[in-house]
Amino acid sequence: MRAAAAVFEKLHTPLTVTEVDVDSPGPGEVLVRVVAAGVCHTDALAMEGDMPFPSPGVLGHEGAGVVAAVGPGVTSVSAGDKVVIGWPWCGSCRNCLEGQPRYCLSLGPLVIAGSRADGSTALRRLDGSPLHSHFFGQSSFAGYSVCAANALVPVPADTDVSILGPLACGIGTGAGAVLNALRPFTGSSIVIYGAGAVGLSAVMAARLTGATSIIAVDRLPSRLALARSLGATETIDVSVAGTDPVAAVHEICGGPADFAMDCAGAVAVLQQAASSVGMRGTVALIGGAPAGASFSLDHMSTLWGKRVVGILGGEGRSASLIGALIALNKQGRFPYDKLITSFPLDQVNDALEASRAGDVIKPVLRMPE
Ligand SMILES: NC(=O)c1ccc[n+]([C@@H]2O[C@H](COP(=O)([O-])OP(=O)(O)OC[C@H]3O[C@@H](n4cnc5c(N)ncnc54)[C@H](O)[C@@H]3O)[C@@H](O)[C@H]2O)c1
Ligand SMILES: [Zn+2]
Ligand SMILES: [Zn+2]
């Protein structure tokens, strides 16, 4: 199968849109015609080497589309089904069996090995030379994706598939961190550092809970205005000279907050988030960071009952989370579509730049028909 794809040729270099050859699906695999794929900050991390993915290859991990063909043994989906491509999982390790496939013990190789488990790749240049595939099990910056059947989340036939891909990563991560992992209790306070796609999804999810203070922190006033319209009860603009977000949080909450999330992806912000919560408070690591980054926390204030948790992909099963978010969106209770701006695939580098510059919150690439 021939398809257009955005090829990651080497580090620190724009992607190149070209034609590639895509394998037919093997046993347990499905060929998905990708309708659209979201651009997540994590794709940019891979392009800069902060998430190691071998080049040349194809990135993209928020794909959604229509099943084009199924491989031998696949019965869970059939040609014509609309699907979101979720994160890959082995299905047999301890964490998968316990209903936490985001923490699959094989997650590392499944997302960044650049191939199937047997080392083969699903993509080739037209001259036959291999291109790394299976970024997050999908490499969906392409017109077609070969992925494992168990990663697919079928969706109702009347759903607009072109906006669904980001539910698998960025949007699902922010929402799931709140709804599956932190579960803010009635009357609690939650601070969300970073009002990008992940943070704004957390804001929308927090509004679905009994949390009474939902505080968004960012350096872009336009994003804070959007955060307010989506459910933030207070905002803190760190671009205003002299603003100390931790002091501002304490002032708003009358003391430390109950929950704080780093959705900005900077160690300095994570430390502010950690200082925003106190005894029995929880700080969540969600944002990425440069390769090899570490952080330190004050010992005594952490010892006194503070919880520090990392959260991947919004936890839980993709099918449950994505299904719930689609239903909430249809009900008007999770309007994540307001965060999306579409770009044709051949403008992928503009989409990445618009996201980096803060002009667009969630770019989604539409594949050529
Ligand atoms: N844990 C996971 O499973 C997971 C999944 C998806 C994305 N991520 C990561 O989450 C992070 C957020 O992703 P995104 O797509 O929302 O990115 P984004 O770039 O859209 O949003 C980041 C936001 O942080 C803001 N920001 C930057 N510096 C700040 C500061 N000092 N104080 C407050 N806000 C600041 C930016 O203005 C921006 O609005 C990224 O690092 C991404 O790699 C993690
Ligand atoms: Zn597993
Ligand atoms: Zn992502």
Q: Does the domain at residues 174-310 carry the CATH identifier 3.40.50.300?
A: no
Q: How confident is the model at residue 369 (pLDDT cuts 50, 70, 90)?
A: confident
Ligand positioned closest to the Cα atom of 106: 2
Q: How confident is the model at residue 112 (pLDDT cuts 50, 70, 90)?
A: very high
Is residue 261's pLDDT more than 90?
A: yes
Ligand positioned closest to the Cα atom of 48: 1
Rounded mean pLDDT, 301-314? 97
Rounded mean pLDDT, 230-245? 98
Residues around ligand 3, an ion, CB closer than 5 A: 40, 42, 169
Atom of ligand 1 at shortest range from CA of 311: 1
Structure tokens at 358: 């803060």
Q: What is the pLDDT of residue 290?
A: 86
Q: How confident is the model at residue 291 (pLDDT cuts 50, 70, 90)?
A: confident
**In this structure, what DSSP letter does residue 142 have?**
B
The answer to whether 119 touches 59, Cβ cutoff 8 Å, is: no
Report helix, strand or coil for 366.
strand
Kindly give the distance from the C-alpha atom of residue 50 to the centroid of ligand 3, in angstroms, as a whole number: 13
Listed in sequence order, the residues at least 6 apart from 300 whose beta carbon sits closer than 8 Å to its beta carbon are: none
Kindly give the distance from the C-alpha atom of residue 266 to the centroid of ligand 2, in angstroms, as a whole number: 29
Structure tokens at 42: 């994590």
Residue linked to tokens 């570490």: 294
Q: Which of 320, 303, 231, 217 is nearest to 260 (CA)?
A: 217
* Exposure string over 186-197, b if 16+ CB within 10 A, otherwise e: eebbbbbbbbbb
Rounded mean pLDDT, 45-62? 96
Give 270's Cβ-side CA count (13 Å radius).
18
The residue whose CA has the least distance to atom 36 of ligand 1 is: 194
Atom of ligand 1 at shortest range from CA of 356: 19
CATH class belonging to 2-169+315-366: alpha beta
Mutate-to-test residue for ligand 1 from 263, 311, 336, highest number of ligand atoms within 8 A of CB: 263
The answer to whether 102 touches 321, Cβ cutoff 8 Å, is: no
Give 330's Cβ-side CA count (13 Å radius).
12
Rounded mean pLDDT, 314-321? 95
Kindly give the distance from the C-alpha atom of residue 286 to the centroid of ligand 2, in angstroms, as a whole number: 21
Q: Is 155 near ligand 1, meaning CB less than 6 Å away?
A: no
Ligand positioned closest to the Cα atom of 197: 1
Whether the domain at 2-169+315-366 and the domain at 174-310 fall into the same CATH topology: no
Report the Cα 299 to chain-centroid distance in Å. 31
Q: Is 216 near ligand 1, meaning CB less than 6 Å away?
A: no
Domain ranges in the chain? 2-169+315-366, 174-310
Is residue 317's pLDDT more than 90?
A: yes
Q: What is the pLDDT of residue 19?
A: 98
Handedness of CA 335, 341, 346, 348 (dihedral sign): negative
Rounded mean pLDDT, 11-26? 98
Atom of ligand 1 at shortest range from CA of 217: 33
Mutate-to-test residue for ligand 1 from 218, 356, 359, highest number of ligand atoms within 8 A of CB: 218
Rounded mean pLDDT, 199-207? 98
Instruction: For residue 56, say if its preceding peptide bond is cis, omega within 30 degrees of 0.
Output: yes
Atom of ligand 1 at shortest range from CA of 195: 39
Q: What is the pLDDT of residue 85?
A: 98
- Quick one: what percent of the chain has pLDDT higher than 70? 100
Q: Is 166 near ligand 1, meaning CB less than 6 Å away?
A: no
